[in-house]
Amino acid sequence: MKTRQTAEIILKNMAKVLNLEENYFIDVAADNAPTFARFNYFPPCLRPDLVYGIRPHADGGAITILLPDKEVEGLQVLKDGQWIKVPIIPDALIVNVADQIEIMSNGELKSPMHRVITNSEKQRISVAMFYLSEMEKCLAPAPELINEIKPMLFKKMKAREYRDIFFQHLMRGENKALLPISSFFQLFKCRRLVRICLYGKSQ
C-alpha cells in the first residue's frame, strides 16, 4: 500500500537523522499496527473566531500524514506560545510527529500542539492518515538518546497503555497527554511519580 510505504520512508529517515538504526521506529510501528484515515470536511463558518474546525491537541500515535486542502489554509501549529499558519505547498504532504515518536526519540522529535481554524467564506477538505505503534510493543526512549546531559524523559510503557491514557485525556478535554518525567521529579515523591506521569495529576 502506497501510504504505508510513504510512512516507512519517513520513519526510516527520521531514525537516520537521530543516528539510530533505520528500522528503529518501523520495528515498533509494525505491519499489523493500527492505521486509519480520517476525511475532514469543514463548511464555511459565520463565526470562525468562536468555532474551531478541530480544537488544539497533539496526536497520540506515531506519525500523521496529512493531505491538505489545495486552496484554503486552516492548520496552525503552536510555537513559542504563538499560533503559526501552516502554508499550502502545491502537491506536498504535511507530516506531524506524534506522541509515540516523541517518547521513542526521548524528546528529540517533538509532537506539536496544533489546531484547525474555520473559514467564514470557503469550505475546506483534508485527509489525514494516522499511523500508530503495534499495541503490544513497548514504547521507551532509545538507549542511544539517553545520557548524562539528557536523561530518560519518558516512562517505558506498552503502546496499548499509552493509547488508553491518551483517550482518557481526550475525554476530559485536555490538550496533551504526554508529560515528561522531569516535569514532576522535583515536586512529587517517586512512589507517586508513575501515576502523575501517566495521568497528568495526582489521583
Q: Residues 61-118: pLDDT tens digits?
A: 999 999 999 999 999 999 999 999 999 999 999 999 999 999 999 999 999 999 999 9
pLDDT on residue 126: 96
pLDDT on residue 165: 85
Nearest-Å Rg of the Cα atoms of the chain is: 18
pLDDT on residue 31: 62
Measure the CA–CA gap between 91 and 147, rounded to whole angstroms.
40
Cell of 168: 482518557
Q: What is the mean pLDDT of residues 31-40?
A: 84
pLDDT on residue 46: 92
pLDDT on residue 173: 65
CB 123 within 8 Å of CB 42: yes
Determine which helix (DSSP H) or strand (DSSP E) holds 101, and give its type and residue range: helix 99-104
Report the range of poorest mean pLDDT among 20-24, 31-35, 111-115. 31-35
Residues of the chain with pLDDT > 70, as a percent, come to 83
**Domain 2-199 is of which CATH architecture?**
Sandwich (2.60)
Measure the CA–CA gap between 178 and 123, rounded to whole angstroms.
32
pLDDT on residue 191: 34
CB 135 within 8 Å of CB 76: no
HSE-CB at 182 with a 13 A cutoff on CA atoms is 6
Q: What is the mean pLDDT of residues 150-159?
A: 91
Q: What is the mean pLDDT of residues 50-55?
A: 92
The number of helix segments (H) and strand segments (E) in the chain equals 4, 10
What's at 193, amino acid-wise?
A: L
pLDDT on residue 200: 46
**Cα-Cα end-to-end distance for the chain:** 44
Exposure string (b/e) for 109-127, b if CB count within 10 Å is 16 or more?
bebebbbbbbbeeeebebe
Q: What is the mean pLDDT of residues 168-186?
A: 60
**Alpha-carbon dihedral sign for residues 196, 83, 58, 144:** negative
Report the range of poorest mean pLDDT among 84-88, 173-177, 182-186. 182-186
Domain boundaries, the chain: 2-199
In terms of Cα–Cα distance, which of 196, 167, 182, 200 is closest to 60?
A: 167
Q: What is the mean pLDDT of residues 130-150?
A: 92
